[in-house]
Amino acid sequence: MYDSSGTLLPSTQWTGYFPDLLQWIGRQSGMTYTLTAPSGAGSSCASGADNTGNYGCGQQDVTELGTSDIYVGLYYVTAQRLQAGLMSRTFTGDAGLAVAQKGGATDTLDSYQAKQAAGTVGRLCTLTGAAFTDWVSREYPAIDQVAVAYSEYVTSIRSGACDAFVVDRPIALQIAAQNCDLNLGVGPSTTYGYHDCAFGIRKELNDVTIAISYWIEWLRTCSPNDSNDFRCYNAFNLATLYVRWGIAPDQCPASSSPPPPPTAAGGDVTNVFGTIFGTTVTNRLDAIFGLAITTLVLVSIAFLVMMSSILKGLGGGQRAVGVDTKNMIEPSDARSL
């Protein structure tokens, strides 16, 4: 998302898990789009601040402001989100929460709570605006915890304000791999609570929800070992693409230098796992099913920026462009692609 000087790159140069997934959906369906960041105008957004790590801020562009039609990132499927809008077929079911803490320990939330009660560990940082923060607060009220911005996770550990933080395990692994000097230990994923992540979509766009879900499931079922399976994305299916971009080593290498993020085919080394972007979608997904939709629709897909070291500053109030969503490929025509 950024060049070496910290300048935000044009959205056409953003790469990572979600850009790859969107590119594949576009390739199969005829959808075209333009990525964008959250507007920062919602009530959950911090005024005058970088809101690229604020889940609620990106979601509000869709559910309250109507400036976007879709938000995408590691958004857990929750009752509140289902009440506020629609959600697609899940693209991952194993993004449970994990505790990352200095000193290399690998605790669960339960064991961290016990250690905190014994006075051997300090405060736990949670993420401002995230659904899982409310869940942790509700399920573990005895834990001394404080909600901070994503950009403050690492700085809170360095300053001693928190001894650990909790976040989706794929993100915890990435942070640990990119801050090897902290010797962060990442515990196992929670065995209950939130695990399933999906795209959030405006209530009015049920047909779009069905279409996106269709293509997500299509990619899920392809065989990356079959070179003739045209459903795959550059020899990746949904699961292997997720692993390629989202799972970092549990431990840092022997050297002090963190490993570089993976490079997708034809892409740069930007690792986008849960970032607030947006898209303008042309050729509406509904037409996959022969619905002959010819109206213009705004589709802004929000990715929550979780990797501040390489995705810092995705904000800037960019908005999605209008979307002409007609002429999508129907399932019966897909084999010709």
Looking at residue 239, its pLDDT comes to 84
Please determine, for residue 142, whether its predicted confidence score (pLDDT) is greater than 90: yes
Q: Residues of the chain with pLDDT > 70: what percent?
A: 70
d(CA 141, CA 240): 36
323 occurs within a structural domain = no
Handedness of CA 31, 171, 226, 219 (dihedral sign): negative
Q: Label residue 247 by pLDDT band (50, 70, 90).
A: low
Looking at residue 45, its pLDDT comes to 84
Closest CA to 300 of 13, 46, 40, 8: 40
Please determine, for residue 331, whether its predicted confidence score (pLDDT) is greater than 70: no
37 occurs within a structural domain = no
Closest CA to 195 of 302, 63, 293, 97: 97
> Which residues does 120 contact at the CB level (< 8 Å), separation at least 6?
none
207 occurs within a structural domain = no
144 occurs within a structural domain = yes
288 occurs within a structural domain = no
> What is the domain count for the chain?
1
Residues spanned by the domain of 146: 97-186
Q: Which residue has the higher pLDDT, 265 or 230?
A: 230
205 occurs within a structural domain = no
For residues 62 and 68, the answer to whether their CB atoms sit within 8 Å is: yes
**What average pLDDT does this structure show over 245-263?**
51
d(CA 176, CA 169): 10
Task: Give pLDDT tens digits for 267-318.
Answer: 332 333 334 444 444 444 433 433 322 223 344 444 333 322 222 222 222 2
d(CA 168, CA 149): 15
Please determine, for residue 172, whether its predicted confidence score (pLDDT) is greater than 80: yes
**What average pLDDT does this structure show over 116-131?**
94
Q: Transcribe 50-108 into DSSP letters.
A: --TT-HHHHHHHHHTS-S-SEE-SS-B--HHHHHHSEE-S-SBS---EEEEETTS----
Which H/E stretch holds residue 138?
A: helix 131-139
Looking at residue 275, its pLDDT comes to 42
Looking at residue 264, its pLDDT comes to 38
Tell me, what CATH number does 146's domain have? Answer: 3.40.190.10
At which residue do the structure tokens 């079922």 appear?
221
106 occurs within a structural domain = yes
Q: Label residue 177 by pLDDT band (50, 70, 90).
A: confident
pTM: 0.72
Q: Which residue has the higher pLDDT, 266 or 26?
A: 26
At which residue do the structure tokens 């971009």 appear?
245
73 occurs within a structural domain = no
